Amino acid sequence: MLNLYDTATREVGPFTPIKKGEVSIYVCGATVQAAPHIGHIRSAVNFDILRRWLNMSGYDVTLIRNVTDIDDKILQKAAQEKTPWWALAMKYEREFTAAFAALNVLPPTYEPRATGHITQMIELMQILIDNGSAYAPGNGDVYLEVRKLHRYLTLSGQRIDDLMPATDVDAASSIKRDPRDFALWKAAKPGEPSWPTPWGDGRPGWHLECSAMAHTYLGESFDIHGGGLDLIFPHHENEIAQSEAAGYGFAKRWLHNAWVTQSGEKMSKSLGNSLLVEVILQNVRGIELRWYLGSAHYRSMLEYSQTALEESAVAFRRVENFLKRAAEITGSLPKCEVSTSFAAAMDDDLAVPVGLATISENLRLGNQAITDNDVSEISKNANEIRGALEILGCDPFDKNFTDFRSADLSQAMDGVIALALKERTSARERKDFAASDAIRDGLLALGITIEDTAQGPRWSIMEKS
RNA sequence: GGUCGGGUGGCCGAGAGGCGAGGCAAGGGACUGCAAAUCCCUCUACACGGGUUCAAAUCCCGUCCCGACCUCCA
């Protein structure tokens, strides 16, 4: 039985989907205005682990992850770069997609773009205006009237009057009925992209698209809404406000992932401490970065350091190496099996760190079994490790991580290295250790490690870092 | 000002009243021609001050420190 945290109640409780056997999830994806940093990708990895665990638990999961491809920053940046806004948005959307793929994040069931759902946004605004929750002051803007909502700010636990007064210079002369009313729709300024509406030409305001798209693909109520911690207010409060005012039940449960930090501070472009995915991937493989980002609990801050990342990568290679050896010894790839201890950890609000401890136990027992040449024990532990890695999205045998060209190359190399190892073995047999060590050192200089195992010598390519 | 989250050994990172999660690093040992890999053993913690309790890293009160959000951040 899966237990999950809910930001709305701040408690961990049993998860029961609306429809038996099905889970609907909406995750706030990227606003494609810059290249993805590892914080963005951590969010995707966390929700991917949730999704994989739900799948493994027998649920049919529908996951919608949006792309916000129109907003102030996109327009602003496009103007700076003298690029059409849609070209800029597309460029970064591709970068996000590439980063997700490099980290083996499963593609969402659907990935709707804001600009493709203007019709649905207009319909939603019409409902809100008709029922008196929203108003159009006549300049082309449309606002939601927050004072009319009963449950506004219950997710973040704030009170309207406690919010810091808007620093907006126009606040005094504002056409808003209350300074806290937020824009569903913004009138187009000259030169800005716009779409026609009954209230004037304009563009989406405060992430109206998330409410509209969640409704379009998941219906009036759905099981889980996810996103980063910093979206709780105002973004998610506003989504709730828009959707509930329209009469929708909206999300039953809220999950928020914590950040990747550096020196305790949140990673962010504006702080200048963001680490781009493509830069990190020059030093570690995607599977290793994923292992690192997934290794902390999703609600805990992950304090980034180069050292921690590298150590994590080494730890992963140890697990990977065991699986490869197990496959060599048993003559077949391990199967994916989920141990009861790993399952218990995942069922407890996705306690990945506890799950990793069970993998360590499997690893120790599995390595011991290799020493003892106990094939069934090797298989058992290898299967359980592979099953756990599959859920974490870090299965080294996953075809998304397997490069077939390098697999062919490695076969050819195997033959070549075997020739050298044959020489080394005969040198060792005649106790000519100078000769045998020269061969080993020569291979090492090429980045090839030789290990003498009970089953004979074994070679592997050293990973960088 | 309001709201929320933190401070755990050299490092990373769980736990949330009761046998010291786990990993990395360090030291010792086994194995090995030497290595590598692996296994075994050992060590080091709960920001500070009070309180509750048979028992507190965990609950309560206070203090200090760090971070986040407060109208277009994952």
pLDDT, one tens digit per residue, over A220-254 is 999 999 999 989 998 999 999 999 999 999 999 99
| Average pLDDT for A89-106 | 96
pLDDT of residue A464: 62
| Average pLDDT for A63-69 | 95
> What's chain A's Rg over C-alpha atoms?
27
Q: Which two structure tokens, joined as six digits, stand for A197? A: 């509406």
Residues 97-126 of A with CB under 7 A from strand B: none
Q: Which nucleotides of chain B have an atom under 7 angstroms from any protein CB? A: 1-6, 11-15, 21-25, 32-40, 66-74
Helix (H) and strand (E) counts in chain A:
14, 15
CATH 3.40.50.620 fits A3-257, yes or no: yes
**Residues with Cβ < 8 Å from A237, sequence gap 6 or more?**
A152, A153, A155, A156
How many Cβ atoms from other residues are within 10 Å of residue A263's Cβ? 8
- Distance, CA of A264 to CA of A242 (rounded, Å): 34
**Higher pLDDT pick, A427 / A174:** A427
Contact flag, residue A196 CB and nucleic strand B, below 7 A = no
Contact flag, residue A423 CB and nucleic strand B, below 7 A = no
Contact flag, residue A392 CB and nucleic strand B, below 7 A = no
**Residues with Cβ < 8 Å from A329, sequence gap 6 or more?**
A370, A375, A378, A455
CATH 3.40.50.620 residue ranges in chain A? 3-257
- Give how far the C-alpha of residue A123 lies from the chain's centroid of Cα atoms, to the nearest Å: 31
| Average pLDDT for A289-313 | 94
A405-458 pLDDT, tens digit per residue, is 677 777 888 899 999 999 999 999 999 999 999 999 999 999 899 999 988 899
A110-168 pLDDT, tens digit per residue, is 999 999 999 999 999 999 999 999 999 989 999 999 988 888 998 998 888 888 765 55
**Higher pLDDT pick, A179 / A432:** A432
Is residue A42 pLDDT above 80, yes or no?
yes
DSSP-assigned letters across all residues of A354-401: HHHHHHHHHHHHHHHHHHHT-HHHHHHHHHHHHHHHHHHT--TT-TTT
Is residue A216 pLDDT above 60, yes or no?
yes
Helix (H, G, I), strand (E, B) or coil at A224: strand
| Average pLDDT for A340-356 | 96
Residue nearest to nucleotide B39 (CA to C1'): A368
Contact flag, residue A436 CB and nucleic strand B, below 7 A = yes
Q: Which residues pair with A225 in a beta bridge?
A: A26, A254
Q: Are A134 and A144 a contacting pair, CB within 8 Å?
A: yes
pLDDT of residue A344: 95
How many Cβ atoms from other residues are within 10 Å of residue A412's Cβ? 9
Q: Which residue carries 């929203």 as its tokens?
A: A134
Residue A169's pLDDT band (cuts 50, 70, 90): very low
| Alpha-carbon separation of residue A119 from A50, A140, A216, A269 (angstroms) | 31, 16, 11, 32
Of A279, A231, A274, nearest in space to A29 by CA? A231
> A19-33, A268-282, A288-302, A432-446: which has the minimum mean pLDDT?
A268-282
Amino acid at A169: V
Helix (H, G, I), strand (E, B) or coil at A45: helix
Q: Are A464 and A283 a contacting pair, CB within 8 Å?
A: yes
Q: Which two structure tokens, joined as six digits, stand for A127? A: 């409902």
> A144-148, A205-209, A298-302: which has the minimum mean pLDDT?
A205-209
Query: What does the mean pLDDT of chain A come to?
Result: 92
Q: Which two structure tokens, joined as six digits, stand for A199? A: 């209230």
Please tell me the total number of residues recorded for chain A in this structure. Answer: 465
Contact flag, residue A241 CB and nucleic strand B, below 7 A = no
